[in-house]
Chain A
Amino acid sequence: MAMTVHVDIVSAEEEIFSGLASMVFAPGVMGELGIMPRHTPLLTRLKPGEVRLINTEGEEESFYVSGGVLEIQPHTITILSDTAHRAKDLDEAAALEAKHQAEQKLQDQSSEFDYAQAQTELAEAMAQLQAIQKMRKKLGR
């Protein structure tokens, strides 16, 4: 039997593959990597693309990753796949959006807090109304 290496492909939201392989191909940022068992430790980022591996039966399996990180240890290969497409400017935009929301919520006093206040006011008004109705009933009798 050919030499094998343990391969784990995971994304933040699920496990994609876990098992043995005799060879792995992955799209590194510096170019395509072909990894055999007992490769020297290596850490690289991945480009969006196809990860292929040859499993113990000699069949080829392929998975799509939208970027991520690849770690190689002599006996294990770990692929941390991203679930989102990311680029520096996209991350920047998301961060700005989060900040913007925080500022807006601070200025906008009419949101969540007012809602709670309105609810208590409504409850008070309802209680008053009920009291008035009760009194009216008593007087009407």
Chain B
Amino acid sequence: MAVGKEIRTKIKSVKSTQKITRAMEMVAASKMRKAQERMAAARPYAQKIRNVIGHLAHAHPEYKHPYLQDREVKAGVGFIIISSDRGLCGGLNSNLFKATVRAMREWNDKGVKIELCTIGAKANGFFKRLGGNVVAQISHVGDAPQISNLIGVVKVMLDAYDEGRIDRLFVVYNELVNTMTQRPNVEQLLPVHGVDDPQLKHHWDYIYEPDAKDVLNGLLMRYIESLVYQGVVENLSSEQAARMVAMKSASDNAGDLIGELQLVYNKARQAAITQELSEIVAGAAAV
């Protein structure tokens, strides 16, 4: 029957789209679980290293590391922006970029320079188009990021801090509140602050081997790297969660669309049958 050929093709095409979105939803769901496990696995290290830094803040070392000293912002600020590599995850990346641009504008108004470091293909593309000063970038760290992937980009920013080109370093990533909500988060990395352990109030200091500067350097570098790593794994879980939700609503929408189209198709077919019948009846009556 020739009726509703276009509608039938349309339904078929929507159905195949729905198949794809549903598959993507399920893939994202399973990847999200793994990403969350990875997040949980990374937590003990972050906590322990934060403890150590907290102890350190209360020790009275003969050497004060520049990362632990607050300094005035004169030259510039640095941002490490963590985004996903792929799209189709709702407004995840654009929300993140909006938050970043807002934070950047604040510093820009104060007349300081901004250096950017992007992790993930989306951030790289966006800030290149925006004309930002991207000094380091890495993308496609994959579903199982390793700290060794991040050493390079973090070092570029730490070097900039050491050389005095930037006086503050921030990291921007999506925080996973729950599966439905992800919040863009701007966190200060340098100078290090906000670590406190009230148990160690008395006057004491570590024995450093080989010397304070060397040990602190290594420790603080690892601390910053671990924070960035945490950001990366958290952003990864956020990405999968956002994609799962986006794909779920896409599949639902496709379902609605199919329903509507099916209704239109059925009506058209029914109308054609009725018309044919009445034609036959009219024809028979005429004879």
What chain B residues lie within 8 Å of A43 (beta carbons)? 52, 56, 206-209, 215, 219
Task: Please choose the segment from B42-50, B66-74, B99-107, B260-268 that sits at the chain A interface, where 4 or more of its residues have CB less than 8 A away.
Answer: B42-50
Please determine whether A112 and B125 come into contact, CB atoms closer than 8 angstroms: yes
A97 in the interface, Cβ–Cβ < 8 Å? Answer: yes
Interface bits A60-91 vs B (CB < 8 Å: 1, else 0): 00000000110101000010101110100001
What chain A residues lie within 8 Å of B138 (beta carbons)? 98, 101
What chain B residues lie within 8 Å of A113 (beta carbons)? 125, 128-129
Given A30-B210, A43-B52: 10 more A-B contacts, CB < 8 Å:
A41-B59, A69-B215, A78-B52, A80-B219, A82-B147, A84-B147, A91-B155, A102-B135, A105-B124, A113-B128
Give the docked Cα–Cα distance between A90 and B112 (Å).
32
What chain B residues lie within 8 Å of A80 (beta carbons)? 45, 48-49, 52, 219, 222
Please determine whether A42 and B222 come into contact, CB atoms closer than 8 angstroms: no
Of all chain B residues, the one with the shortest Cβ separation from A102 is B137
Chain B binding surface, main DSSP class: helix
What chain A residues lie within 8 Å of B219 (beta carbons)? 43, 69, 80
Of all chain A residues, the one with the shortest Cβ separation from B56 is A43
Please determine whether A116 and B214 come into contact, CB atoms closer than 8 angstroms: no
Could you say which of B52, B128, B151, B206 contacts A106, with CB atoms under 8 Å apart?
Answer: B128
Please determine whether A71 and B124 come into contact, CB atoms closer than 8 angstroms: no
Please determine whether A8 and B208 come into contact, CB atoms closer than 8 angstroms: no
Give the docked Cα–Cα distance between A86 and B146 (Å).
13
B280 in the interface, Cβ–Cβ < 8 Å? Answer: no
Task: Please choose the segment from A9-17, A48-56, A121-129 that sits at the chain B interface, where 4 or more of its residues have CB less than 8 A away.
Answer: A9-17
Could you say which of A14, A69, A99 contacts B52, with CB atoms under 8 Å apart?
Answer: A69
What chain A residues lie within 8 Å of B38 (beta carbons)? 13
What are 6 A-B contacts defined by CB distance under 8 Å?
A14-B42, A29-B209, A41-B204, A43-B206, A44-B208, A45-B214
Could you say which of A14, A29, A40 contacts B41, with CB atoms under 8 Å apart?
Answer: A14
What chain B residues lie within 8 Å of A45 (beta carbons)? 209-210, 214-215, 218
Give the docked Cα–Cα distance between A10 and B128 (Å).
37
Please determine whether B48 and A12 come into contact, CB atoms closer than 8 angstroms: no
Give the docked Cα–Cα distance between A99 and B156 (Å).
7
B225 in the interface, Cβ–Cβ < 8 Å? Answer: yes
A120 in the interface, Cβ–Cβ < 8 Å? Answer: no
What chain B residues lie within 8 Å of A106 (beta carbons)? 128, 134
